[in-house]
Structure 1
Amino acid sequence: MGFENTFYEITAILLLAVALGAVGIKLRQPLILTFITVGVLVGPSCLKLVKIDDIKLLAEMGVALLLFIVGLKLDIFMIRAIGPVALITGLGQVAFTSIFGFFIALALGIPIVDSIYIAVTLTFSSTIIIVKLLSDKKEIDSLHGRIIVGFLIVQDIIAIIIMIALSAFGAGGNGKESAIIGIVLVIGKGILLLGATWMIMKFVLPSILKQLARSQELLVLFSVTWAVLAAAACDRLGFSKEMGAFLAGVSLASTPYRDSIGSRLVSLRDFLLLFFFIELGSYLDLSLIGNEITNSAIFSLFVLVGNPLIVMVIMGVMGYRKRTGFLAGLAVAQISEFSLILASLGVSLGHISRNTMGLITIVGLVTIGLSSYMILYSTELYNFLAPLLSVFEKKTVPSRKLDTQRFEGTPLIDVIIFGLGNYGANIARKLLERKKHIVGVDFDPQALEYWRKQGVPVLYGDAEDPEILERLPVTRTRWVLGAMPDRQSNLSLLSVLKRYGFQGKIALGARNQQDADEFEKAGADLVLRPFVDAAEQAADSLTAATHTIPDKTRWHLKLKEVRLEADSLCCGKTIGEIPLRSETGASILAVSRGGKNYFDPEPAFRLFPGDRVALLGEEKSLELASEYFKRREPVERDEREEEEFTITAIEVPPDSSWVGQTLGGLNFRSDYGVTVIGIQREDQQINAPSAKEMIMAGDRLIIAGNKSSVERLSP
């Protein structure tokens, strides 16, 4: 049964995908598994509705776009950072799985050649499925997400070499020589490919993108074309299409257009990937399952448990935390679509039996299905297994010692900032201007290097890693700020801090009102709304007096607007107290405040932070006036700020000298540096007592002040 018209065929597939997808969502099942099920249903094992070649092109386009978008997020600096761990982990996992898989197959009585194929097919994980799951969970940009992408690329390279070797082995005769020549050619072509990509990225793409960026539609079209062209070139050179699309994305990752391109391609990617998962399901020939249930169960357990274990061991030895190793390890708890293709090649070459093909098919179904759940519920799975995973974490790693020693002897930390992107970086600069002590946390090596050069203590890490707090001076920190762009990372940080018992305050940056409401509900002490604040300033700018004053006069004078920062020397002063005209030659024409304009303000008009001052003068005078308003009040860090501020209750005994005196008469503020904010008198509670309030025996005074000042009190 099938359709002669390809259009009708695609229509039927889409209808079935929507129907089963809706059922899957209702049952809280991963859509990937639902779409693979659609592929099984419409494939040769069941309804036989589709011919694989009809959807293959759409599937390959979807895969190319997926890897292209992943590449967009990985610039050169990030590749340098994750390169060593990706290479070592990828090679280590491949070696472990292939060697142990081979001996397990032999132990089960499987012939040597079949054992080799089984060992190889168990080695590789599905780059497409893993990347799609991580993208859906918004974890592709996390530390473990980037490491996963790195070692999956390593796996792809090894897969190509193995494919060449097995093909040559099947050719007989000169197979060994052909394999060696093929591998040498792969290495040579790989070097040539990387060199060509670098040259194009450096000298060709910048000028092309600058011209095409004038039209968003043309920019997106070029991006798709570039991804497909690179995929086709790699395929022609004997590499995978996925690798070509990935390199195309990396080549654009350092350009200012990457975010715009990525956001516009996501929907197209998701639609085309539907056909990849359907194609994958249609490859699964259930008639081959046969009597391999027992053996397939053993190999499935090996892949689901053994592969993650070796990744955790390798990453633990390299100094990564158990959480990062565990989450990265889940990515290899499955076999890939390449395994099924390789098994089909083995059958066609006469290397393996159809029973072995059936065994590999079952392992594919089981591991892809179960690992999808493991990745989707990775956080819950980690929280359950965390107590057992400490054995995979090396306790004497030099980098860890450096982390803990880095903050020894540092003063009280005002703010630890998680996320040093645009928002977090700007907050850091303002805090430094105010002489505050800060610490930064991010996993972008470029950002960390920048702040390290500024003398700011920084830490390479992931906000969702519970162990990262052990490497930070949180017991001596007033505020922790989550300035990450996504909601889940901020919520995870809040949860980790609460479980740790953090005693300071927690602030989170919200992108929208829904995020803000969720953060407040979760218990954040302060929710920052950068877009709301920016909108308020934008509204002030649009309604500022500068834009209502004619900017063309017969005199050679110009207008300029200056916004008063909170620490400007001019804040709190009247216009008459500011010698602006005598020092700069510029004049104040108007002041805008809260959407209201004050034209030709009087000398007694007082300036406040946030005011927008409209200046008139010659260009040189305006530059001097702008610098004048930027002068800041010298900030000297008050050592008393280093002390812990506390609120405590002190009981007044009957024989105290305070009894019968008023609060004002005792001069608590001037003599002791504390404030009485309340009095508990038997069942009566006096809030904000006046200076005339008389102290009585047995009163409990609620005192607020620095800890040392409170301790000096003796009633």
Structure 2
Amino acid sequence: MLTATIWLSFAFGSGLLMRLIGLPPLVGYLAAGFLLSANGYETNSILETVAHAGVLLLLFSVGLKLRLRSLIRSEVLAGSLLHMAITIALLWIILHQFGELSFEAALMIAIALSFSSTVVAAKVLESKRELRAFHGRVVIGILIMQDLVAVAILSLAGGVTPSPWAFLLLAFFLLRPLLHWLLDICGHGELVILYGLLLALVVGGGSFEEFGLSSELGALLLGIILSDHKRATELSNALWGLKEVLLVGFFLQIGLSGHPTLLTLEHALLLNLLLPLKALLFFVILLLLRLRTRTSFLAGLSLASFSEFGLIIANVAETQGWISTEWLVLLAVTVAISFAITAPLNRYSHELYQTIGKRLKRFESHKRHPDDEPINVGSAHILVVGMGRVGTGAYDTLSANQLRVLGLDSDPGKVERHRSEGRRVLYADAEDPGLWSGINLRNVHTIMLCMPELSAKLMAIQQLRAQGFNGQIHSTALFSEEVESLRHKGADLIYNYYESIGPSFAEKTIQGMKHDAPAQASISSKSTDST
């Protein structure tokens, strides 16, 4: 109990400190792990279980927001496999020829450094709500392909082969109606959370391990099976808080994986000089596949970090005697430092692109990728950006009043659903500077921003005003402190949820009372006559 208290105290203190200085709390959790390791603390089975559960829940949540067809795309297949092949080949030559490592050691270290972190990339994208934006889908697709390669390498390197009965796991796809039905009858309380835990940790993670496959792959697969359920988002949101807490254990475990010496830190910092080259290679490959500079830049930055899968592979290599324990500790420190470097960079990725984006534009292909085609608003006079519950309600009300309205959303799943329900909705990423410069807004007089993220609304307003849009910009706000920021950027009307819901509710009540007044008067009259 004392150890857990110390872990929690260090994690909270370090995470809070990082947040106060503008860095993601996960950097603080890593720092807490290193501080604890320096004071003689080590990881144990409890922390390993917590960390593993956090990773499984994260991958399950990613699966809930994924579409399988997004993997069978040239930018995903080439972006993952080509990048890995080039990286492994170059690193193997450097380590084997110049580092004087054995063939096996150089190969395993090169493989370990070729992966990108699924946990860090997915967590950052999810925190910015960009998992279903175009660059987010490309990143997740590449990461899943890397994870599949990692599973294959682990099976070969560890000498463990999947069970001959592993094909039975395909039955999960046949059980999809049953899994969907169980989610339907769980209600909206704690049963939803328990069901999510059961699927991620037991049905997905546990069953795959029993058949000699990756538990991470199992959790991801179960999430994918439920991804097209109408309550998939609700399930993901229900698990969000629990998943975030459990992931703290993962970052603490990385920090506690070894006690770094000064020489280890120096070598780890040298290895992290590869991060810009890693991101640059992703950027070049994706540009060659006709993605725009913005998409390639954001995806490359998201994939720049080294991976926790690399540590797993390095651990297998150390067990087989191919690399030394010193190399395992060095790789652990290298991965942790890469997290600390890339996490804050990804947090400000849009601002970074705004700074250097114009200089990168000259490298962009003249041929457009299908997902980057310009948007035609047609005869619409009003744009509703963000087609969640608020945006959908606004769209329906405007449409019912015979106004020409068009919806925009960065979630392809939502776009498809709205189209099937008869709404005119197009795919668009509101934070994309190229979006607003590529749209003819001559006939549009009002743009309603209904996205939940303040940063997305601020960036959209800034880009619209920079492009010379003089029409009305209306925006939602969750908190009172957001109102001034939105007004300062150029919003004309701001609707504050929490300040407006009370008066709106009261107005509806008054209207209902007026509507029922004759009936109430009749009842009152009858009651008086009876008396």
TM over 0.5: yes
Is 1:16 matched with 2:18? Answer: no
- 8 A Cα contact 2:257 2:329, kept in partner: no
2:44 to 52, 74, 85: 52
Structure 1 residues 89 and 464: CA distance shift in structure 2, 3 A: same
- 8 A Cα contact 2:291 2:372, kept in partner: no
C-alpha distance in structure 2 between counterparts of 1:125 and 1:144, whole Å: 15
Structure 1 residues 384 and 103: CA distance shift in structure 2, 3 A: farther
- 8 A Cα contact 1:308 1:332, kept in partner: yes
Give 1:157 deviation, angstroms.
Answer: 0.9
Give 1:536 deviation, angstroms.
Answer: 5.0
Residues 524-547 of structure 1 show CA distances to partners (whole Å, capped at 9, x for unaligned) of 122245773753554245534337
2:79 maps to what in 1?
89
C-alpha distance in structure 1 between counterparts of 2:424 and 2:181, whole Å: 38
C-alpha distance in structure 2 between counterparts of 1:544 and 1:89, whole Å: 63
Is 1:101 matched with 2:91? Answer: yes
1:329 maps to what in 2?
300
2:528 maps to what in 1?
none
The amino acid that maps onto 2:475 is L
1:149 maps to what in 2?
140
Structure 1 residues 164 and 392: CA distance shift in structure 2, 3 A: farther
Give 1:82 deviation, angstroms.
Answer: 6.0
1:372 maps to what in 2?
343
Gaps of 5+ in 2: 524-531
Is 1:80 matched with 2:64? Answer: no
Residues 663-694 of structure 1 show CA distances to partners (whole Å, capped at 9, x for unaligned) of xxxxxxxxxxxxxxxxxxxxxxxxxxxxxxxx
Structure 1 residues 131 and 541: CA distance shift in structure 2, 3 A: farther
- 8 A Cα contact 1:285 1:361, kept in partner: no
C-alpha distance in structure 2 between counterparts of 1:291 and 1:398, whole Å: 44
Consecutive aligned runs of 4 or more in structure 1 exceeding 6 Å deviation: 453-457, 550-553
2:527 maps to what in 1?
none
C-alpha distance in structure 2 between counterparts of 1:519 and 1:82, whole Å: 37
- The structure in which a higher percent of residues are strand is 1
Within a 5 Å distance, the mapping from 1:281-680 to structure 2 comes to: 281-287=255-261, 290=263, 293=266, 296-297=268-269, 299-302=271-274, 304-357=275-328, 359-397=330-368, 399=370, 403=374, 406=376, 410-411=378-379, 413-449=380-416, 459-528=426-495, 532=500, 535=505, 538-540=508-510, 542-546=512-516, 549=519
2:109 maps to what in 1?
118
- 8 A Cα contact 2:42 2:257, kept in partner: no
Structure 1 residues 258 and 537: CA distance shift in structure 2, 3 A: farther
C-alpha distance in structure 1 between counterparts of 2:449 and 2:482, whole Å: 13
Is 1:223 matched with 2:196? Answer: yes
1:31 maps to what in 2?
25
2:226 to 220, 243, 252: 252
Structure 1 residues 548 and 260: CA distance shift in structure 2, 3 A: farther
Structure 1 residues 400 and 273: CA distance shift in structure 2, 3 A: closer
The amino acid that maps onto 1:89 is G
Is 1:128 matched with 2:119? Answer: yes
C-alpha distance in structure 1 between counterparts of 2:441 and 2:117, whole Å: 39
1:200 to 170, 175, 180: 175
C-alpha distance in structure 1 between counterparts of 2:10 and 2:142, whole Å: 35
Give 1:160 deviation, angstroms.
Answer: 0.7
- 8 A Cα contact 1:319 1:400, kept in partner: no
Give 1:93 deviation, angstroms.
Answer: 2.6
- 8 A Cα contact 2:134 2:410, kept in partner: yes
The amino acid that maps onto 1:152 is L
- 8 A Cα contact 1:313 1:392, kept in partner: no
* Identity among equivalent pairs (%): 26
Give 1:60 deviation, angstroms.
Answer: 1.5
RMSD of equivalent CA atoms:
3.3
Give 1:325 deviation, angstroms.
Answer: 1.9
C-alpha distance in structure 2 between counterparts of 1:443 and 1:47, whole Å: 46
2:156 maps to what in 1?
165
Residues 503-538 of structure 1 show CA distances to partners (whole Å, capped at 9, x for unaligned) of 322122334544444423332122245773753554
Give 1:336 deviation, angstroms.
Answer: 1.6
Structure 1 residues 98 and 186: CA distance shift in structure 2, 3 A: farther
2:526 maps to what in 1?
none
C-alpha distance in structure 1 between counterparts of 2:123 and 2:88, whole Å: 26
SS in 1 for 2:446: strand
1:70 maps to what in 2?
62
C-alpha distance in structure 2 between counterparts of 1:450 and 1:49, whole Å: 51
Within a 5 Å distance, the mapping from 1:687-706 to structure 2 comes to: none
Structure having the higher Rg? 1
SS in 1 for 2:185: helix
Give 1:468 deviation, angstroms.
Answer: 1.1
The amino acid that maps onto 2:143 is L
C-alpha distance in structure 1 between counterparts of 2:232 and 2:96, whole Å: 49
1:650 maps to what in 2?
none
Give 1:328 deviation, angstroms.
Answer: 1.5
Give 1:57 deviation, angstroms.
Answer: 1.1
Gaps of 5+ in 1: 1-6, 169-177, 554-715
- 8 A Cα contact 1:440 1:457, kept in partner: yes
Give 1:376 deviation, angstroms.
Answer: 2.0
The amino acid that maps onto 1:104 is I
Structure 1 residues 530 and 52: CA distance shift in structure 2, 3 A: closer
The amino acid that maps onto 2:440 is P
The amino acid that maps onto 1:241 is S
How many aligned residue pairs are there? 517
Give 1:161 deviation, angstroms.
Answer: 0.7
2:215 to 231, 234, 241: 241
Structure 1 residues 495 and 113: CA distance shift in structure 2, 3 A: same
- The structure in which a higher percent of residues are helix is 2
SS in 1 for 2:367: coil
Give 1:310 deviation, angstroms.
Answer: 2.7
Residues 410-465 of structure 1 show CA distances to partners (whole Å, capped at 9, x for unaligned) of 55x41233223333334334444555444432233344346667997754221101
SS in 1 for 2:99: coil
C-alpha distance in structure 1 between counterparts of 2:302 and 2:165, whole Å: 30
The amino acid that maps onto 1:275 is G
Residues 296-352 of structure 1 show CA distances to partners (whole Å, capped at 9, x for unaligned) of 5554222x1122223223333444332222112112212122222322322221112
C-alpha distance in structure 1 between counterparts of 2:93 and 2:205, whole Å: 36
Residues 21-77 of structure 1 show CA distances to partners (whole Å, capped at 9, x for unaligned) of 34333444432122112222323xx22234422311111122222222333333xxx
Structure 1 residues 250 and 110: CA distance shift in structure 2, 3 A: same
Residues 134-176 of structure 1 show CA distances to partners (whole Å, capped at 9, x for unaligned) of 33334345433333222222211110111122234xxxxxxxx
SS in 2 for 1:403: coil
Structure 2 length normalisation: TM-score?
Answer: 0.86
C-alpha distance in structure 1 between counterparts of 2:420 and 2:236, whole Å: 31
Give 1:469 deviation, angstroms.
Answer: 1.8
The amino acid that maps onto 1:546 is D
